[in-house]
């Protein structure tokens, strides 16, 4: 099962090194969501994330960066999919 990579402190880690996977349905994911969103209403966030993923937003983001002469950041599709799954799981609890 896919999850978000975290560092030893449990924060999201994109640098590499020692990692552990957090399943989107688990209690640790709920902690990540609380840290990211606090008490805000996050009901519409999964739908918006999934729409962007389905529309190939990463492809367009890379294209715009290239046209502007900038380096694009790493593809975040996997992390965005995890976030959408975690939000949906949290909404069901």
Residue 18 CA, distance from chain mean position: 19
Distances, alpha carbon 10 to alpha carbons 23, 28, 51, 76, 79, in Å: 13, 9, 28, 18, 15
* Mean per-residue pLDDT over the chain, rounded: 81
Per-residue model confidence (pLDDT) at position 15: 44
The pLDDT of 19-36, averaged and rounded, is: 88
pLDDT digits (tens, 9 = 90+) for 64-89: 999 999 998 888 888 889 999 999 99
């Amino acid at each position: 099962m896919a999850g978000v990579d975290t560092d030893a402190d449990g924060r999201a880690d994109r640098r590499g090194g020692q990692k552990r996977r957090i399943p989107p349905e688990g209690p640790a994911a709920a902690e990540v969501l609380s840290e990211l969103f606090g008490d805000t209403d996050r009901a519409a966030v999964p739908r918006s994330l999934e729409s962007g993923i389905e529309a190939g937003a990463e492809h367009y983001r890379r294209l715009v960066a290239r046209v502007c002469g900038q380096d694009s950041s790493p593809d975040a599709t996997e992390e965005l999919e995890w976030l959408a799954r975690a939000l949906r799981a949290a909404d069901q609890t």
